[in-house]
Amino acid sequence: MTRMKYTVPITKDLINSYIPLSNDDVHLYRQCQLYNTTSVTVDNSSLVGCNEWVYEQTTFYKTFTSQENLVCDDALKTSHAQMVFYFGVLVGDLGFGMLSDHIGRKKTFMITAVLLLVSGLGASWAPEFYSFAVLEFIIGAAIHGAFMICCVLGVELVGPKKRVYAGVPIHMFFTIGLFYLTACAYFFRDWFTVQIAVSAPCVMYLAYWWLIPESPRWLISKERYTEAESILHTAAKANKVVLPEKIVDSKTIESAKEGRLWHLFTSRILFFRTIVIFWNWAVISMVYYGVTMHTGNLGGNWYFNFFILALVEIPAVLSCIFLLDRMGRKKLHCLCMFVAGFSCLGTIFPVLFGGDELQPLTLTLAVMGKFGSAAAFSVVYIFSLELYPTIVRNGGMGASSCVARFGGMAAPYIAKLGDLVSGKFGQALPLVVFGACSVSAGLLALMLPETLNKKLPDSIKDAEKFGVLKDTKVEDIIYIDDPEKDKELEKKDTTEIGNGIKY
C-alpha cells in the first residue's frame, strides 16, 4: 500500500478515509487497493492499485517476498518459486538417480554436495526474482539428489535385518534440520542471514569423499568384484567378522543383466506396482509439505506451530523403527496414510463449526496429519527400496521421488486455497484435499507385496516374481520358469554375509 507522509496523528478515521475495508473475513482492510488520491483530495468513489507497501514485522523483519514486493498481482510468484524448487527436486531425483546407477553412488553424491553449497550461498545474493528462482531450481535438484543417494547407499551397505536402522533414522536428521531452520528464523528473522546460516554447513559434505565407501551391491552389479571385496573385507574387519579370502567373482555371483528405468513398465505386474508407488509418493509429498506450508493459516504463533509440526516427526520416525519389523511395511504404511488422511479431513469440523477457541484442536489435527505423513515418508523409502531391483534401484527411487515432486509442486497452490477461497471453508479446504488423497493412497498400497525379511531383488526378473507366490522368498523362485535350473539351485548351498549378498 502506498506510503504517505503524515503531518497529523494517524487515527482510525484517517485510515478509513484512505484505505477501504476488506470484503473478506480474514483482513480488516484491503491489502492491494486504496481510494484514489491526489495532492488535495481523496476520492472515495474509485479505487486504485497500490504501488508500494508497508509490512508487518512482528514475525519476520525481512523476507524475499517483502524485499521484492511479491504481493497482490505478484502474490502467486511465491508459489511459483516453490514450484520451481520442487521441479528442481523432480529433475534432480530423476537425473541424479540415473547418474548414480551409471557412475556410482559416491561420485554422484559429491557432485550434488558441491552444487548444493555453491547454489545455496549464491541464492543469498540473488538480485531479483528470476535469478532467485533459477538458484532455487539448482538447490532443489542438488539437495534431494543427495538425500536420495544417502537413503539408497545406507540400505545397500547392510543386510536385511539392518535395513530399518539404516534407512529410517536418516529422516530424524531431516527433522534436526527443521529445528535448526526454526532457530535460525526465530533469532535472525532476515531471509539473507537465514539463507547463509542454512547453506554454510553444507561445506562439511565435501569431507564425505574420504568417509564413505561406494556401494558393494552397485559394484557387483557392474562386475567390479575386486573393489567390492575390498570394501566388504574392510567392513568385516571393523565388525570383527572373518570372511573367506575370495567372496565374490563371476563364478560365485550371477551377474544381473543390465536394466533401465523403463523396464519397470515392461510387465503388467511391475507397471501396476510402480504406478501405486508413484501415487503414494506424490500424495505423501503433497501432504507433508502442504501441511507445513499451511502453518500460517492455522492461527496462533507461527514459530510455535512450525516447531510443533517439526517436533512431531521425531516420534513419527521412532514409531516406524519400532513397528516396521513387527507390523511389516505394507500394513504400517497404510496405517500412516490413514492417520494423515483422516486427521486432515477432521479439521473441517472445528474450522467450520467452531471459533478461535477451537484453534488448539485444529492445530492438533494438523499435527496428527503431519505425524502420519512424516511416518509414511519413512516407511515408503524402505518399502520402495525393497521393491525395486538393484540394477534400477537408485533410478527407480529417483523416479518415485521425481513423481512426488508433482505433489510437492501442487502443495503450495493447494495451501494457497486458504487465501483464494474466502471464509472459514477456505481455511479448511486445503487440509480436506490433503486428507482425501492420503486415504486413497493408503488403500492402493494394500495391493503391494510385503517385503519384510525378504531378499532384495537384483534383476528385473527378480522384481517381476517378487511376491507372486505368497510367503516365498525371491531366491527360491528366480528360476521358476526353468525346472532344470530350479533343481540345480536347490542343491546349491548358499551362505549369507554381512551385506545380504548370497554366494
Read off the pLDDT of each residue in 103-125 and give the average, rounded to a whole number.
92
Query: What average pLDDT is seen over the chain?
Result: 77
Band (pLDDT 50/70/90 cuts) for residue 53 is confident
Band (pLDDT 50/70/90 cuts) for residue 1 is very low
pLDDT higher for 491 or 315? 315
Q: Which residues contact 462 (CB under 8 A, 6 or more apart)?
A: 256, 389, 474, 478
Q: Which residues contact 463 (CB under 8 A, 6 or more apart)?
A: 264, 270, 387, 388, 389, 457
Q: Is the pLDDT of residue 352 over 90?
A: no
- Which DSSP state fits 264? G
Convert the pLDDT of each residue in 258-303 to its tens digit: 556 777 787 788 888 889 999 999 999 888 877 766 665 555 677 8
**How confident is the model at residue 149, as a pLDDT?**
87
Contact 343, 372 (CB under 8 A): yes
Q: Count Cβ atoms below 10 Å from residue 176 Cβ, excluding itself.
A: 12
Convert the pLDDT of each residue in 372-399 to its tens digit: 988 998 888 888 888 888 777 767 877 8
Q: Is the pLDDT of residue 112 over 80?
A: yes
Backbone φ, ψ for residue 32 (5° rounding): -120, 0
DSSP H or E stretch at residue 36: strand 33-37
Convert the pLDDT of each residue in 139-166 to its tens digit: 999 988 898 888 888 878 887 777 778 8
Helix ranges restricted to H, 69-159: 76-103, 105-123, 129-156
**How confident is the model at residue 378, as a pLDDT?**
84
Distance CA 121, CA 488 (A): 59
Residue 78 has which C-alpha cell?
511465491
- Helix (H, G, I), strand (E, B), or coil: what is residue 48? strand
Q: How far is CA 120 from CA 113, 133, 141, 402, in A?
A: 10, 12, 11, 21
Give 37's strand partners: 42
Of these ranges, 6-15, 81-90, 332-341, 474-483, the one predicted with the greatest mean pLDDT is 332-341
Residue 132 has which C-alpha cell?
532467485
Residue recorded with cell 507433508: 288
pLDDT higher for 311 or 249? 311
In Å, the largest CA–CA distance within the chain is: 100
Read off the pLDDT of each residue in 97-122 and give the average, rounded to a whole number.
90
**How confident is the model at residue 468, as a pLDDT?**
65
Instruction: Encode 170-217 in three state secondary structure.
Output: HHHHHHHHHHHHHHHHHHHCEHHHHHHHHHHHHHHHHHHHHCCCCCHH
Share of the chain above pLDDT 90, in %: 14
**How confident is the model at residue 367, as a pLDDT?**
83
Burial of 224 (0-12, 13-18, 19+ CB in 10 A): middle
Residue 156 has which C-alpha cell?
545397500
- Helix (H, G, I), strand (E, B), or coil: what is residue 29? strand
pTM of whole model > 0.75? no
Band (pLDDT 50/70/90 cuts) for residue 427 is low
Q: Is the pLDDT of residue 455 over 80?
A: no
Nearest to 303 by CA among 431, 429, 435, 188: 188
Residue 211 has which C-alpha cell?
568417509
Q: Count Cβ atoms below 10 Å from residue 72 Cβ, excluding itself.
A: 15
Read off the pLDDT of each residue in 424-443 and give the average, rounded to a whole number.
81
Q: Is the pLDDT of residue 255 over 80?
A: no
**How confident is the model at residue 475, as a pLDDT?**
41
- Length of the chain as a residue count: 503
> Which domains are delineated in the chain?
12-49 (no CATH), 64-212+256-445 (1.20.1250.20)
